[in-house]
Amino acid sequence: MNESIDLLHCHFGLTPSEARLALRLVTGETLRSAAAELHISYETARTQLKSIFSKTGTCRQAELVVVIVTAFPDCLKAAPQAQTPSSSRAA
């Protein structure tokens, strides 16, 4: 995952915190869920997302995901997978 953070930093100028948030959003997590997983407030996540939008030239989360996955298809493989209730239950 550090390699993906470095790629996002070099290509878009994202800070490590912004890159971690962007990677979580790429996996389909909601902003609120990503904030909780990263142990940051929802308002901090919103502020970081606005900065990410500015740096990537996007204005919607779906657009952001397309830009990142198009630029770095391997980012999706390295990103932490979103936890859903069904995936966290024991089989």
Residue pair 35/4 in contact (Cβ under 8 Å)? The answer is: no
Residue pair 20/38 in contact (Cβ under 8 Å)? The answer is: yes
Range of 2-11, 58-67, 81-90 with top mean pLDDT: 58-67
CATH number at residue 25: 1.10.10.10
Q: What is the DSSP letter of 39?
A: T
Please state, as a whole number, how many other Cβ atoms lie within 10 Å of the Cβ of residue 55.
16
Residue 87 domain-assigned (yes or no): no
- For residue 50, the enclosing domain spans 2-80
**pTM for the whole thing?**
0.81
Residue 66 domain-assigned (yes or no): yes
pLDDT tens figures, 26-74: 999 999 999 999 999 999 999 999 999 999 999 999 999 999 999 988 7
Would you list the DSSP string of 65-81?
HHHHHHH-TTHHHHSPP
